[in-house]
Structure 1
Amino acid sequence: MINLFDTIRNTLVPIHKEGYVFVVIFFVVSLILGYFAEPLFWIGLVLTLWCAYFFRDPERVVPQDDDLVISPADGRVSHVALVVPPAELDLGIEPMLRISVFMNVFDCHINRAPVRGQVTRIEYREGQFVNAELDKASSDNERNGLVIDTPHGRVGVVQIAGLVARRIVCWVKPNEPVSAGERFGLIRFGSRLDVFVPAGGQARVVVGQRAVGGETVLAEFGSTKGPTIGRRA
């Protein structure tokens, strides 16, 4: 019963205002198609409900600790590795811990700040739309990168468009402060978020793990423990 309640609570959540126009378009198209063939209306209605679900904007309980790096999105952890950050972020040429979270078309696509700090840089780059799960998506795909100045150094966050994504939205501006878990943007219809963690941060997730935006701890500073290691069980 508790699991059923949690499922309903997490499903019936507010729709972000960015999604209103898409939900209306899907519904109007459903009505038009239904005028010609009733089965097409029901197919369109299902797609309309999916569209509303896609743009859901649930509340999250965000850990308030400057030593933690929080997941910026719902999805599956697809990469945890040391990688040179994109040149446009101006984070240097030394490898940084990169943690990637891949969002499929059923994940919540609201993007949240992984740390508290001040946005010092925002850089948009045009690009391709290959599968966002592929490693090369970080360099080849359309993307929008943010740099957040924090007590532990500069953290990079990159919104990467995916195979069917065609629109990256970012609501914050340079020199604005952000709080950990604060909504800063979204990517429409499938995508990925890369987080670049400065030296001293230890990974607290493993590849294949599910992450919850605004709640799951991706990395931690100041810990004497090594990086988290996973195994299949």
Structure 2
Amino acid sequence: MTTDTATDTATSLGERLADVWIELEDRLAEVPILRRLDEGTVTLHDYQRLLFNLRQQVVDGSPWISRAASNFDIEHFELRTAAIKHAQEEHRDYLMLERDYVAVGGSLDELRAGRKNLGSEALSGYMFTYADRPNPVGLLGAMYIIEGLGAQRAAGWAARFQEVLGLADSQVHFMRYHEVADGNHTGDLEAILTSDMISDDDADEIVRCAQVVARLYALQLEELDR
């Protein structure tokens, strides 16, 4: 791929992913728990429910990234390396969430005995299925959505929960941590998305995967406890 072609692909990809993000933002604005958070009517029970539901999917994060890494061939060595590094950095994230849940009065046993809601089932099922493909480059689109939410929205959600509910930093650690950690990840991701490793076909897969994951992530938040 020539330099000019790679630049054109990266520019187009960035614009298409930005459109997916705008659609996601519009959908999140209609999610009941996030609407209550914005309005200031959210309750402690709402926050507990959110953590409970997120935990069941967060546990699967590192495993699907690891599975994707195992399916990149030697010609995609840099992507495999990045995926392995990412999986290693995230495989204990759920423990932070568990500590936050217990810190706001939740039962650790009940949390660990919980099951995924409808949206989480769909999201995890899609991620593992896609990760089983040979060279699953499209999952960069999934990471664009998931890491983007951590980098751009998690800290704001944490601050608002603290403002409305009077929570301590130790009770929103999971969300606050991801502002920094996912901010670093999005920087690494941007470097890949703007490199000459991404072909036009790859870009199409990345955008499609981002669209699916954006819809399923919102569904996970819409279907709390179902």
Q: TM-score range by the shorter chain?
A: under 0.3
Larger RCO of the pair (alpha carbons < 8 Å, separation 6+): 2
Please, what TM-score do these two structures have when normalized by structure 1?
0.24
More strand by share: 1
Q: Which has the larger radius of gyration?
A: 1
